[in-house]
Amino acid sequence: MKLLFIGDIVGEPGRRAVKTLLPKLRDQHLLDFVIANGENSAGGSGITPKTAQEIFSAGVDVITSGDHLWDQKEVTELLQNEKRFLRPLNYPPGTPGQGSGIFEIQTSSATRAETRSSPLSIAVLNAQGRTFMPTLENPFLLVPPEIERLRQQTTIIFVDFHAEATSEKIAFARMFDGQVSAVVGTHTHVQTADEQIFPGGTAYLSDAGFTGPHESVLGREIEPVIKRFVTNMPQRFEVARNRVLLHGVVVEIDDASGKATSIQRVSEPLA
């Protein structure tokens, strides 16, 4: 099976890029499943039920999040009512929502579907790092038992690790080599060029980048960010508008073993 993971969707330009470009990418790569990080989809910070529905309607199957989870108060409704929306697993017990889920794959290829004896499912897990990030429970301790639980139900497991430090991302992914199909990092909004498949069959990319305006500073208007660095005074960081790209990664996974067979970065411009 083939899945596309879309890097952090930033504001209206990012949502528009997904809506416009995803149908073409689905056909081009024969995608079976699409995951997107949507934590910046509402005005560039946070997510709401309305923006989530817009992303789902564009063809995304599951939305993950990160440290901007709580930036919009309406997110509580999303956490309580939408199983296709995931928050980081390593929040304390009692936090609304879920950090992982198992979803049935609707394959885009009739030929591949005919060779399967039973419906195929995928587990998606969202976790957040702790280095240079808001402090949550230790993902290195909490994630292993969750992966063991998910592996009882499916061999195909995708992990969005929302973290700042590259070393933490690599160490986390190496820890689970052979236990999950892919670990892809989010949060920095800068697409890295280190895509690879580890010896145990786990695909890895330090950061998927971001989907939105790239004539910017990480999706925001340039001048206010520069002014903040120059003056150290608060500024309003509006979402930029120009040179919109969809960033992400396509991973092909063996149905039976759950091991990745290929990984390919995506950087698709919105005309």
Query: Is the Cβ–Cβ distance between 82 and 97 less than 8 Å?
Result: no
162 catalytic, yes or no? no
Verdict on whether the full-model pTM lies above 0.75 = yes
Rg (CA), the chain: 18
pLDDT of residue 199: 98
pLDDT of residue 127: 98
> Does 234 have pLDDT greater than 60?
yes
**What's the pLDDT tens digit per position in 38-51?**
999 998 999 999 99
Q: Rounded to whole angstroms, how far apart are CA atoms 270 and 258?
A: 32
Two tokens, residue 142: 């909490």
Catalytic residue, from 29, 68, 187, 214: name it.
68
41-45, 71-75, 114-118, 149-153: lowest mean pLDDT where?
A: 114-118
| Superfamily designation of domain 2-269 | Metallo-dependent phosphatases (3.60.21.10)
Q: Rounded to whole angstroms, how far apart are CA atoms 168 and 147?
A: 18
pLDDT of residue 109: 53
Q: What's the distance, Cα to Cα, between the start and end of the chain in Å?
A: 29
pLDDT of residue 270: 97
**How is residue 98 annotated by DSSP?**
-
**What's the pLDDT tens digit per position in 171-205?**
999 999 999 999 999 999 999 999 999 999 999 99
Q: Is 167 exposed, middle or buried (0-12, 13-18, 19+ CB in 10 A)?
A: exposed
Helix, strand or coil, per DSSP, at residue 54:
helix
Kindly report the average pLDDT of the chain as a whole number: 95
**What's the pLDDT tens digit per position in 237-255?**
999 999 999 999 999 999 9
4-13, 86-95, 105-114, 243-252: lowest mean pLDDT where?
A: 105-114
Distance of CA 6 to the CA centre of its chain: 6
pLDDT of residue 107: 64
pLDDT of residue 111: 43
> Does 106 have pLDDT greater than 90?
no
pLDDT of residue 110: 47
pLDDT of residue 256: 96
